[in-house]
């Protein structure tokens, strides 16, 4: 790293001492952008990096609500409005007991770059709470969402900040959040949240978008290396929104998904995972993946143990981490390489540690980087916003074609950046550089703000 990068990173480490995920995300970007800083010396004079790593605004708030037993519970709410450089703050809300400021800041930071790659006018943000929707009744989830929105509403708006879903926030939560926002504002401002149901202003294909987009990106990346998905075996961590629709598109492209997981364990079904059953268990019953065995007795189920995910020990051609951050460590990467994996697609945000990515690259494994490969979700959120603005809707096929074109463009941007800076097939660096350049140029034009 050159002196400028080194000093910015040191400063970030000092200022954000107890935020390991945030430091990790900043480190990954700063480790990639040296080649472009060498060409654009003015970026240092303009303090581009210092401005990029500091959120515009952080909001933290108390979320009190009453559970079904009449007890008052207090959670913590967050919204990190990281950058409005190229559009309204935009990014999901995560409800999970592990949520803390470091996690929301890493997600908000990555969102700026991801959103820039979509080519659409959206800034970067993330929010959420340490509330755990698991095991809660619908009424409890509703009361929590109403309390959360009673504070959040004053900070968001369809031209200001547009939240959406992430882990633990799906159609049900977005519905409750939207209802409360509308009630407080006494106005239908459809574009204030995305991921809405179709019946009150959502977009067709938003639910499918992240997973489908990941596979479109994967197809483009493989095709640039003379490969395709036909006949390949795929393992997918997670069985939530991203994982399910990644699996669906993988099947449509001729691959076979042989394993999926949740936070308790992994199901291995060599015949091919029965996706209708996964949807029934996860989307309808909100159950555990283990229940898959009730219908299919000839499959293997392995429990997770702390810091150990058995899914990465399964032999497959392609691995798609679609659960959470730091899911694939260096140890997991070594097992995957030993088992002959040839491509990894990051459906989740920062699912591979930096040393795991380096290990993949050194061993010729192609990596589709999160900021680019999972950008189909937020891109389709932007398409939802534009439909809300024109008070019209596109068909499923129209949205899917737009999504496909966006993913093709994103891959080409990553590849062009990798080619321009002689990075070979390091699309992780390619994505960081392509996004960084757009943001740095916008920052240059807008003055010191
Ligand atoms: P969901 O809540 O729908 O699903 C999350 C899945 O990951 C569940 O199967 C969950 O298992 C598993 N999981 C979550 N946390 C852990 C953990 N700590 N350890 C093991 N497994 C875990 O979320 P999404 O599918 O929406 O999000 C998945 C990932 O994709 C996240 O990293 C998110 O940031 C990213 N993403 C999401 C987008 C979207 O549009 N939704 C867009 C781009 C990225 P369990 O049910 O047992 O908790
Ligand atoms: O990480 C992500 O890109 C998301 N969770 C989706 C964000 C959005 O605004 O649709």
Let me know: does 258 contact 270? Beta carbons within 8 Å: yes
Is residue 165 in a domain?
yes
**Residue-level pLDDT at 306:** 86
Q: Does ligand 1 have an atom closer than 6 angstroms to the CB of 238?
A: yes
Tell whether 445 is covered by a domain: no
Percent of the chain with pLDDT over 90: 99
Q: Give the number of the ligand closest to the Cα of residue 385.
A: 2
Which mutation among 168, 208, 377, 406 tests ligand 2's pocket best, with the greatest number of atoms within 8 A of CB? 377
Q: Crossing angle for the helix pair 396-420 and 376-390, nearest 10 degrees?
A: 130
Residues 37 and 166 in one domain: yes
With bands split at pLDDT 50, 70 and 90, how would you rate the model's confidence at 161? very high
Of the bound ligands, which one is closest to the alpha carbon of residue 111? 2
Which residues form the domain of 346?
A: 207-368
Q: Is 230 among the residues known to form the active site?
A: no
Task: Give the nearest ligand 2 atom to 91 CA.
Answer: 9
| Model pLDDT, residue 8 | 98
Does the Cβ of 309 fall within 6 Å of ligand 1? no
**CB of 380 closer than 6 angstroms to any ligand 1 atom:** no
Residue 114 lies in a domain: yes
83 plus 230 within the same structural domain: no
Same domain, 168 and 308: no
| Range 320-342 average pLDDT | 98
Share of the chain above pLDDT 70, in %: 100
Q: Which of 325, 343, 368 is the last residue of a domain?
A: 368
Q: Which of 126, 249, 415, 437 is catalytic?
A: 126
250-256 long-range Cβ contacts below 8 angstroms, 24+ apart: 250/215, 250/318, 250/320, 251/275, 252/215, 253/215, 253/219, 253/228, 253/229, 254/228, 254/229, 254/230, 255/229, 255/230, 255/231, 255/317, 255/318, 256/231, 256/232
The answer to whether residue 106 is domain-embedded is yes
Look up the pTM and report it: 0.98
Tell whether the model's pLDDT for residue 308 goes beyond 90.
no
What is the per-residue pLDDT for 113?
A: 98
Ligand 1: nearest atom to the Cα of 324? 32
Q: Are both 107 and 239 inside the same structural domain?
A: no
pLDDT in tens, 402-448: 999 999 999 999 999 999 999 999 999 999 999 999 999 999 999 99
Atom 3 of ligand 2 has which residue's CA nearest to it?
A: 378
Mark whether 29 and 153 lie in a shared domain: yes
Judgement on whether residues 358 and 298 belong to the same structural domain of the protein: yes
Question: How many angstroms separate the alpha carbon of residue 192 from the centre of ligand 2?
Answer: 14
d(CA 27, CA 10): 10
Q: What is the mean pLDDT of the chain?
A: 98
pLDDT at 309: 84
- If asked whether residues 137 and 283 sit together in one domain, one would say no
Q: What is the pLDDT of residue 1?
A: 78
What average pLDDT does range 239-260 have in this prediction?
98
**Structural domain count of the chain:** 2
Write the CB contacts of 310 (distance below 8 Å, at least 6 apart in sequence). Answer: 265, 266, 302, 303, 304
Q: Is the CB of 210 under 6 A from ligand 1?
A: yes
Hey, which residues does 366 pair with through a beta bridge? Answer: 343
Centre of ligand 1 from the C-alpha of residue 128, in Å: 13
Q: Considering every ligand atom shown, identify the ligand nearest to the alpha carbon of residue 380 and give its number.
A: 2
**Which pLDDT belongs to residue 286?**
97
């Amino acid at each position: 790293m050159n002196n400028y990068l080194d000093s910015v990173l040191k400063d970030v480490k000092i200022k954000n001492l107890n935020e390991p995920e945030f430091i990790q995300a900043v480190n990954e970007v700063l480790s990639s952008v040296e080649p472009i800083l060498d060409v654009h010396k003015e970026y240092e004079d303009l303090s581009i990096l210092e401005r990029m790593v500091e959120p515009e605004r952080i909001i933290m708030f108390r979320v009190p609500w009453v559970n079904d037993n009449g007890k008052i519970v207090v959670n913590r709410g967050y919204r990190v409005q990281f950058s409005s450089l190229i559009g309204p703050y935009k990014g999901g809300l995560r409800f999970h007991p592990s949520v803390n400021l470091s996690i929301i800041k890493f997600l908000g930071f990555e969102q700026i770059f991801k959103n820039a790659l979509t080519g659409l006018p959206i800034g970067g943000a993330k929010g959420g709470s340490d509330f755990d929707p698991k095991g809660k009744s619908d009424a409890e989830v509703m009361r929590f969402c109403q309390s959360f929105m009673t504070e959040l509403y004053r900070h968001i708006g369809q031209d200001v900040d547009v939240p959406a879903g992430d882990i633990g926030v799906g159609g049900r939560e977005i519905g409750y959040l939207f209802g409360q926002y509308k009630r407080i504002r006494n106005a239908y401002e459809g574009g204030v949240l995305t991921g809405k149901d179709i019946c009150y202003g959502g977009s067709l294909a938003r639910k499918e978008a992240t997973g489908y987009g990941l596979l479109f990106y994967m197809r483009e990346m493989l095709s640039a290396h003379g490969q395709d998905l036909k006949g390949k075996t795929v393992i997918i961590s997670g069985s939530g929104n991203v994982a399910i629709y990644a699996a669906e598109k993988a099947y449509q492209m001729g691959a076979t998904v042989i394993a999926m997981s949740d936070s308790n364990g992994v199901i291995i079904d060599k015949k091919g995972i029965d996706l209708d059953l996964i949807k029934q268990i996860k989307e309808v019953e909100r159950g555990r993946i283990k229940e898959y065995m009730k219908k299919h007795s000839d499959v293997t189920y392995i429990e997770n143990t702390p810091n150990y995910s058995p899914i990465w020990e399964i032999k497959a051609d392609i691995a798609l981490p679609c659960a959470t951050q730091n899911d694939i460590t260096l140890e997991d990467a070594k097992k995957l390489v030993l088992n002959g994996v040839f491509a990894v697609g990051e459906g989740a945000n920062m699912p591979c540690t930096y040393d795991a990515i380096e290990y993949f690259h050194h061993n010729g494994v192609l990596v589709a980087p999160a900021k680019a490969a999972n950008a189909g979700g937020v891109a389709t959120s932007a398409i939802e916003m534009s439909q809300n603005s024109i008070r019209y809707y596109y068909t499923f096929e129209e949205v899917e074609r737009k999504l496909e074109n966006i993913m093709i463009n994103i891959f080409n941007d990553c590849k062009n950046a990798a080619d321009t800076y002689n990075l070979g097939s390091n699309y992780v660096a390619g994505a960081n550089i392509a996004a960084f350049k757009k943001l740095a140029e916008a920052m240059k034009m807008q003055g010191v703000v």
